[in-house]
Structure 1
Amino acid sequence: MSKRKGGEIIASGLVKEGIDHVFGICGHGNIGLLDCLYEVRDKVRLVSPRHEQTAVHMADGYFRVSHRPAATLTSTGPGSANQIMGLAVAQTDSSAVLSITANVPTSQFNRGPFQELNQHNQADFNNVVRPVVKRSFQPTRVEMLPLAIRQACSTMTTGRPGPVNLDIPYNLFQESAEVADEPVGSSFGQRRSGASGEDVNTVADWLLAAERPVIFVGHGVALSEAGRELTALAHRLSVPVISSPNGMGTIDMKDPLSLGFIGRNGAYQANQAGRHADLVLAVGVRFDDRSASSWIPGYSWNFPTTRLVHVDLDHAEIGRNYRPDLGILADARAFLRQILAEMDRRSVGQGGRLAGWQAQIAGWRAEWEAYLAPNWGQHSTPISPWRIVEDCLKVLPEDAILSLDSGVHHNWYMQYWQARRPQSMLNTWGYSGMGFGPSSILGAKLAAPDRVCVSVCGDGGFTMVPHVLCTAVEYDIPVVWVVWNNFAWGAIRDLQYAYFDGREYGTGFYQGENREPYNPDFAVWARAAGVAGFTVTRSEDFAATLEEAIRLNRPALIDVHVDANIRPPGTGSWELPPLKPKEPVFGKPWRP
């Protein structure tokens, strides 16, 4: 037992849990904790962005790349509320973030002090944050802090990772009490539950009997760091792999067995394989509407005609949208190792299987590549989106980290990007929060300082978080932003064109009576903040400009003027009820 301030308990708790970064913004409610963090500044780095949403996105990006949780710190009231969207993104995409929020002092509970929420309960921020975190803890005495820290860290990293909130009345930061240390709570990567032997045998039987199997993988495979096992199983059984956005890179996407993404903006061969498969082994992945063509049979999948094995750590995802023939509650890496071991036991050799299925897929891939071929290698004004993706593929190194925001640019990269490694493609997929891409790339770079980190983001999304420029300069974080400048909320404008006879309203950026396209000069904006700024309006100039921005090894922004009237070809579907979904541009749905 030792007598310590609450702030000292929290600071030492972060050190003990291995949390080495706090992304926090000061306020009257947390200065008592900031003073204690000063004492551990050699072990826990404080990075202070200009907005709390960005703080969470940075912690999110840091975790996705390193698989080490970071903390965020906000003051009582608005600062804490500013985190909500970022926490929702982290929750839906399974990122562990320790959100430390300050609240009003316990002596003032329910008196309506400055920034208290008390309509239904005193100091009621917990009810604000609860839907977007795994758990919100509110210790009200210093003696409660050690247990709360341990339980919070254990909760955010055990099972399906996710954000957890510690909401702490700010008097606790400077008050003292006799407390005993708690053991370490974080268990990320240590508890890996496997499948039963019976289920492993069944899955092995089904895999070996299937004539048209596919493996569908998501973020769960990346989180369990099971890329090696996935690749080994795919090669051993000659089974093709379809990836969700957050699963991209768990198998090298240049591998012949990688079919890419599935859904409306998926690759044709992925949708065709999904439609025609007789067995789908889904591992660590959700069947959300965008990766399942809104669950319309024949567009991406054909359940229940197709046999489904669904493996996930989260029981709530198993059977949420499709009833599996076999549901398995297990960690992705543990399960894949079990299947590989079973193949060893049965002396199943390497490759050479499913020749007919491989040939069929090769034919679909050839059709798709022939359809796309005329669009590559072209220069045009305004710049074609094809050119931007193509030059990024050419210029960025194999181990580059790419972050993408919500917007039409994301659809292009879903369809054509080739992630070579796990944890190298950051997407705001489940909640699709704008501002994630430009912000999370800062956390990614702090997690991987020796790797090239590039954010491709829309003009709309970037203008939501332009203060990321300041943070990059203040903390010398050499990232590159590629602003996809099409002078519109392009993805939504395209929906207006598709469903409402081209009536555009509220989706274009215009100035004056003549409705001239308008955006700020992003390059000048960047230079005003101390960031290297470039404007590219000629397609011939983009690749060299991107190379230069990377070579500088300092924060850089490229404002690329992109043609808003070229859209990626749909190969699946996406429904906006009650509107009738659009048919694929390439390929047709198929039902057995």
Structure 2
Amino acid sequence: MKSLTAGEIFLESLRSHKVEYVFGVVGHTFLGILDAFYDSTDIKFIGCRHEQSAALMADGYARATGKPGVSLVVGGAGATNTTTAIAGAYVANSPVIAFCGGTSLQTRNTSVLQETDLVSSFKPITKLATLINKPHRIAEFVNLGFHIATQDRKGPVYLEIPQDVSVNRSVAIDDQHFSEIPLLTTKAADQALISNIKKVLVSAKRPLLLAGENCTDSNANQKIEELSTLFNIPIVSTYGHNDVVSNDHPLYIGPLGRAGAPEAGDLCKQADVLVAIGTKLGHFDTYYDNRYISQDSTLIQIDLDTTFINQVFPATYSLTGDINQNISLLLENDMSTVSLEHRDSWIKIAQSKQVQRLDRLHKETLLSSAPIKPQKVYAELRKVLPKNTIVSMDAGGCVAYGYDRLQCYQPRTFFSSLDLGCIGWGYGIALGAKIGKPDCPVVSINGDGGYLFHAREIATAVQHDIPVVSIVMNNNAWGSEKVYQRDLYQGRYVGADITNPRFDKLAKLFGGDGYYIEHPDSIGDTIAKALASGNPSVIEIPVDPEELPASAHALKSIKKI
């Protein structure tokens, strides 16, 4: 037994889970916890300028490293400020441990300052939301939180520590309280089912692999490439998961769904067997209709659990459990005597789609008009970004072009807010990713509207020396919404046009580097210079305000309504 304060128990608990950083904003209800950081040399508190940014940075850290990210904020408005970020982590299955210093237990239900039923608020957007009622139980609940956040389908956890639980009095605690809860193992799939799926993969004339978010969490990226090679099956990635396989794989076609590659969509709807691996088959992947998934195709779903099996599309076969393990079982196949000549024509179609996409993207490298087109920005990015670059995609019109135009070569290098569609999301994620992977270049891609949501965190980047390069494409508009007003409401714009500061000058005011692009020929060199500088940087690129990406499919749906 040893005597520790609540803050010391908190840090010792985090230490047992190899936590290195905690992101937050200082607050009066957890000063007892925060005081323990003063003497800590191995766990650093990263002070941010807004609680939502702190939770976003924890999420970015988690996505880049695969390890849980940790945030710590005050109760009341401080905690409610984090809900959007935690919802984003929930959508993305990202393991974020969100700690909150809540109001004291002894003053609850008296309308005391910042009293809010936060546990109830967080329950719909976390795997666990609970309150820690005793100092000696902090270690117990931290262990439980980390276990739940990382077990099976990963996700965020909310743990509230009331102020009178975190005060600086010492309590006796045993070392066993700091022991991790072991992860559960999953049983192997039925061999008869594995055998049947193998037969389908061999006999299919037009099979396609559709790989999504849980492949990376299961470390199955390499196995998917091996499956593609062994059975000679093309690969398409789901919305926002361009990094699920290396994009230079000979059978990778492109990303599916909203703002994805049209060539990938064309190929997907021709498939007679679709193997959906680690994907929800969600809204931005499929639009929940048959534009990409034919009613006549055989669907095989491979995922962590049954949550999304048969949710919208009926699966003929389903494999649940560890994705890496199940794909490994499918790879246990002697293909030396198996002929796949019956799909030669399908492979030629897939290769032609590859060529079509590459030709289309190459033509965009030749764009030289003014104002600069967003497509030209991405063409230049493809030339200069190192293969290990992590890209954080905000939401918005200019950003949307990037889903089909950026190449990924390693897992955990392409992040977006996915179906949450959260504008202003990207910069905080990028900062957390850079802290988690300091040796990787990190680029945050933003529109002008979204970037101002969290531009204050340039101060955080400068203070903590986080050299993220932010690209801000400025068209002085809420582009994603403006296009709907243009196409559906005859250009009767309300609230769609905005004004902005010079973002490069804003960066310099905070102490960072700022660049302003006036000609498309200087884009590549400027980005390379910013990456090499080792400083927090903002590159403003004025882009054509008339170049707005419309989702023709979504527009058709709305018109029908």
Structure 2 residue aligned with 1:277: 271
Give the Å deviation of 1:447. Answer: 1.1
- CA 1:74–1:351: 2 relative to 1, 3 Å: farther
Q: Secondary structure at the match of 2:71?
A: strand
- CA 1:551–1:116: 2 relative to 1, 3 Å: same
CA–CA distance in 1 between the matches of 2:469 and 2:297? 43
Give the Å deviation of 1:198. Answer: 2.2
Q: Secondary structure at the match of 2:72?
A: strand
Aligned residues: 559
Structure 2 residue aligned with 1:163: 156
Written as runs of structure 1 = structure 2, the 5 A alignment for 1:318-357 is: 318-341=309-332, 343-344=333-334, 347=336, 354-357=343-346
Structure 1 residue aligned with 2:507: 526
CA–CA distance in 1 between the matches of 2:494 and 2:426? 26
CA–CA distance in 2 between the matches of 1:531 and 1:248? 30
CA–CA distance in 2 between the matches of 1:193 and 1:482? 46
Structure 2 residue aligned with 1:232: 226
- CA 1:569–1:576: 2 relative to 1, 3 Å: closer
Return the letter of the residue paired with 1:185. Answer: E
Give the Å deviation of 1:401. Answer: 0.8
Structure 1 residue aligned with 2:26: 26
Structure 2 residue aligned with 1:552: 533
1:497 counterpart (462, 466, 486) = 486
Displacement over 6 Å in runs of 4+: 348-353
CA–CA distance in 2 between the matches of 1:409 and 1:428? 15
Written as runs of structure 1 = structure 2, the 5 A alignment for 1:472-511 is: 472-509=461-498
Structure 2 residue aligned with 1:382: 371
Structure 1 residue aligned with 2:142: 149
Give the Å deviation of 1:173. Answer: 1.4
Give yes or no for contact 1:152–1:185 (8 Å, CA) kept in 2: no
Q: Secondary structure at the match of 1:259?
A: strand
Structure 2 residue aligned with 1:6: 6
Return 5+ residue gaps in structure 2 as ranges: none
Q: Secondary structure at the match of 2:420?
A: coil
Give the Å deviation of 1:577. Answer: 5.6
Give yes or no for contact 1:455–1:482 (8 Å, CA) kept in 2: yes
CA–CA distance in 1 between the matches of 2:339 and 2:11? 51
Matched, 1:70 2:64: no
Structure 2 residue aligned with 1:574: 554
CA–CA distance in 2 between the matches of 1:139 and 1:302? 50
Identity rate, percent: 26
- CA 1:186–1:408: 2 relative to 1, 3 Å: farther
Structure 2 residue aligned with 1:362: 351
Matched, 1:565 2:546: yes
- What's the TM-score, normalizing by structure 1? 0.90
Return the letter of the residue paired with 2:327. Answer: L
Structure 2 residue aligned with 1:515: none
Give yes or no for contact 2:361–2:379 (8 Å, CA) kept in 1: no
Structure 1 residue aligned with 2:411: 422
Give the Å deviation of 1:194. Answer: 4.0
Give the Å deviation of 1:347. Answer: 4.9
Give yes or no for contact 1:264–1:573 (8 Å, CA) kept in 2: no
- CA 1:94–1:348: 2 relative to 1, 3 Å: farther
Q: Which has the higher helix share?
A: 2
Give yes or no for contact 2:79–2:100 (8 Å, CA) kept in 1: yes
CA–CA distance in 2 between the matches of 1:483 and 1:187? 44
Deviations 1:212-262 (A, max 9, x none): 000111110111121111111111111011101443222211223111111
Q: Secondary structure at the match of 2:514?
A: strand
Give yes or no for contact 2:253–2:353 (8 Å, CA) kept in 1: no
Give yes or no for contact 1:193–1:334 (8 Å, CA) kept in 2: no
Give yes or no for contact 1:454–1:482 (8 Å, CA) kept in 2: yes
Matched, 1:250 2:244: yes
- CA 1:392–1:373: 2 relative to 1, 3 Å: closer
Matched, 1:185 2:177: no
Matched, 1:211 2:208: no
Give yes or no for contact 2:398–2:548 (8 Å, CA) kept in 1: no
CA–CA distance in 1 between the matches of 2:285 and 2:437? 29
Give the Å deviation of 1:110. Answer: 1.4
RMSD: 2.1
CA–CA distance in 2 between the matches of 1:249 and 1:368? 17
Return the letter of the residue paired with 1:33. Answer: I
Give yes or no for contact 1:482–1:558 (8 Å, CA) kept in 2: yes
CA–CA distance in 1 between the matches of 2:439 and 2:318? 40
Deviations 1:265-314 (A, max 9, x none): 2212211121110111111111112211x2222x21113x2111111114
Structure 2 residue aligned with 1:410: 399
Q: Which moved more, 1:144-153 or 1:560-569?
A: 560-569
Return the letter of the residue paired with 1:75. Answer: V
Structure 1 residue aligned with 2:109: 110
Return the letter of the residue paired with 2:559. Answer: L
- What's the TM-score, normalizing by structure 2? 0.95
- CA 1:212–1:16: 2 relative to 1, 3 Å: same
Return the letter of the residue paired with 2:49. Answer: R
CA–CA distance in 2 between the matches of 1:368 and 1:153? 42
Give yes or no for contact 2:202–2:340 (8 Å, CA) kept in 1: no
- CA 1:400–1:367: 2 relative to 1, 3 Å: closer
Return the letter of the residue paired with 1:79. Answer: G
Return the letter of the residue paired with 1:276. Answer: Q
